[in-house]
Structure 1
Amino acid sequence: MDNFIFWWQTLPSRMDPVIFTVGNFPVRWYGMMYIIAFGTVYLLTQYRIKSENLSYSPAFAGDVLTWAIVGVLLGGRLGYLLFYSFPEFIANPLGSIIPFSLSGGSCSFSGIAGMSYHGGAIGVIIAVWLFTKNQKKPFLTTIDLFIVSLPLGYTFGRLGNFINGELYGRVTDAAIGMHFPMAPGNELRHPSQLYEAFFEGIFLFIILWTLRKKAPYPGFLSGLYLFGYGFVRFFIEFYREPDAHLGFVFMQFSMGQLLCLAMIAGGIGVMILCKGLGGKVASSQ
């Protein structure tokens, strides 16, 4: 048992975030997890379309996800800069967004340092709204189609954070704690990335997947997702280390918790609004 505990607690130091390198370009697990996540959502959505005899073309899921990928990348990066690193954004608006470094007359890929889930969610909502408006499709029905699979895809994103050794938890004396090389000090810390992968991912996926055929009106599943994600993450944030440059932004609440409270309120608002309109919001898009 002691050997297993030692293996568990020192696991982060033995994980390499780089899968392999092509020339000078490293292929990282974090980026690969994004690909797996979108692939998971795509396949599950295609399964829904076929098994539930939904009136969507075979190419529909791919078209929507293409727009969603742009939304999550732009929204995630902009959200991080606005919510977590506003001074950096003001100092260098363009340079802080694009993943390329220009120096000495050469251009090199510098990567995207910092992504916000809440910004990514807003970006996806805007992207899907623009897509459905362009294609004259019902917005809420389209969101509901994808939203039940999203948590399972999100699980892989948090696993990517775990492999990177980032977004680690607060200090703990419990045996479940781990030593994260990027964390200050050598104390055990909660593997909060794994908590999020399970509760915001697998747990929420099971709930939404179970209810996918029982939604009483368009928008219900989307509202439930917003509420459910915000609710579970709000409590997981008590185990996650706040961003060092922000700390607690209001009383003992982190920025993530404040955004989750807004998300909870938004989820409740969506469900109430859509129920009150009897689903007419979807058909009017």
Structure 2
Amino acid sequence: MNSILSAIHWNIDPEMFNLGAFALRYYALCWLLAFFVSYVIMLRIFKKEGRTQEQLDQLSIYIFLGTLIGARLGHCLFYDFDYYKDHILEIFLPFKWDKNGFQVTGFAGLASHGGAIGILTALYLFCRKTKTDFLWLADRLVVVVPIAGALIRIGNFFNSEMVGTPTDLPWAIIFDRHDNIPRHPGQLYEAIAYIIIFIIIGSLFKSNPNRQKGKLFGIFMVLLFGARMVLEHFKIDQEDFEQSMLLNMGQLLSIPFILVGIYFIFRKPKA
């Protein structure tokens, strides 16, 4: 009882304002900020290295589409396949029609690991089309990905979603829109971890932007997805089927990314 009384209550309305058919949510604002901040930083990097803003604009379109499509498919395939295998159109349409009539659902459900796969796919397609070195670009893109991820996790916090496991720690938060249990603020843990990674990767890039191609990309992969492996312990499972698993889906999906990162860290350069 004392832990409930001492916990911080979080009950903010996810909508900043509502104008009838249009509503602006904090989550959407965080997504927009993530892309804006990333664009500004990447523009400085591009200009410093003799690349044009037009090239960055083209890359931004690839990354934007890759992120959203990958994150959406990741959720539908990794977390809720049993439902979406029978409702294929709902993967791509922000509404559904059932016995209750027409319902606008939005694209409910995005998975960050799917987003990561989407970004890498978009990066590959962009590099193939523009004859850009994939690892050169990857080493620069990873400078901004952590700060974008931190902003998106803050958006999850405003949505009172992806909540943490129960705890009696003094900074426990009761997400009133979820239940009345003091919990770890798992979203904020991730946001803080990503900000630290942003500082580390940014410092490494600034100190030596021309280190061996792919090494900074590898360091990023190990740091970010290693953090995910640890921080998943403080978050509740997203789906019921994860309760019987030794490692939840987020942890399992992180393993291949970590292995790829280790490969690029220790890869021997071609003679």
TM-score (norm 2): 0.90
Contact 1:161–1:193 (CA under 8 A) maintained in structure 2: yes
What fraction of aligned residue pairs are identical, expressed as a percent? 31
Contact 1:179–1:187 (CA under 8 A) maintained in structure 2: yes
Report what 2:63 is aligned to. 68
Aligned ranges for residues 40-59 of structure 1 at < 5 Å?
A: 40-50=37-47, 53-59=48-54
Q: Gaps (5+ residues) in structure 1? A: 279-285
Report what 2:18 is aligned to. 21
Q: Gaps (5+ residues) in structure 2? A: none
Report the alpha carbon displacement of residue 132 of structure 1 after superposing the two structures with TM.
Answer: 1.3
Report the alpha carbon displacement of residue 107 of structure 1 after superposing the two structures with TM.
Answer: 7.3
Report the alpha carbon displacement of residue 94 of structure 1 after superposing the two structures with TM.
Answer: 1.8
Contact 1:166–1:182 (CA under 8 A) maintained in structure 2: no
Could you tell me which of 209, 212, 218 is aligned with 2:205? 212
What RMSD in Å do the two structures reach over aligned CA positions?
2.2
Q: Would the alpha carbon gap of residues 89 and 113 (structure 1) be closer, same or farther in structure 2, given more than 3 Å must change?
A: same
Contact 1:248–1:255 (CA under 8 A) maintained in structure 2: no
In the alignment, structure 1 residue 187 sits paired with structure 2 residue 181: yes
TM-score (norm 1): 0.86
Contact 2:73–2:91 (CA under 8 A) maintained in structure 1: no
Contact 1:249–1:255 (CA under 8 A) maintained in structure 2: no
Contact 2:212–2:269 (CA under 8 A) maintained in structure 1: no
Report what 1:94 is aligned to. 89
In the alignment, structure 1 residue 243 sits paired with structure 2 residue 235: no
Report what 1:283 is aligned to. none
Report what 1:159 is aligned to. 154
SS at match of 2:240: coil
User: What amino acid sits opposite 2:190 in the alignment?
Assistant: E
Report what 2:30 is aligned to. 33
Report what 2:195 is aligned to. 202
Could you tell me which of 246, 253, 262 is aligned with 1:259? 253
Q: Which shifted more, 161-170 or 21-30?
A: 21-30
Deviations 1:166-204 (A, max 9, x none): 0000000111111112434x22000000000010x2110
Report what 2:216 is aligned to. 221
In the alignment, structure 1 residue 269 sits paired with structure 2 residue 263: yes
